[in-house]
Amino acid sequence: MNILVTGGAGYKGLALAQAPLELGHQLTILDNFIHGYDASLFLFRYPKVDFVKRDIRNLKRQDATEFDVLYHLAPISGFPACETTSMQLTPSMCRAQKICYRS
C-alpha cells in the first residue's frame, strides 16, 4: 500500500509512521519540518520511506492522487506552537484541507 502522511514529522505523524513501515508499506512523509529533522531520523532505516519538504498550504491535488491512504496530520497544534506561530487560516489552507479529504 502507498501511504501519505501530511505532518508526518510531527509527534502524531511519527507515532503513526513506524507501523505501516514495519508491515512493508511505502510511506511518504510530507511536512514543512519547522521543528527540524532530528525526530524523524530513525525512519531512515526503512527502505520504503520518502520525505517531501513542503508546506501543506502549497499542496496540489496531484500531490495526493497517487496514494492509497492519506493521513492528514499537518495542522499546527498544541500550545505553545499555536501561540508562537502566527499562521492564519488562508484560502490555500482551506484548499489543502479539501484535497486531503477528497483524496
Q: Phi and psi dihedrals of 82, rounded to 5?
A: -65, -35
User: Per the confidence metrics, is the pTM higher than 0.85?
Assistant: no
Per-residue pLDDT of the chain (103 residues; tens, 9 = 90+): 999 999 999 888 999 999 999 999 999 999 999 888 899 999 999 999 999 998 887 877 787 888 999 898 887 665 555 555 455 544 445 555 555 555 5
Check whether domain 2-102 has CATH 3.40.190.10, yes or no: no
Distance CA 55, CA 67 (A): 18
Domain residue spans of the chain:
2-102
- Sorted by sequence, the CB contacts under 8 Å of residue 22 that are 6+ apart come out as none
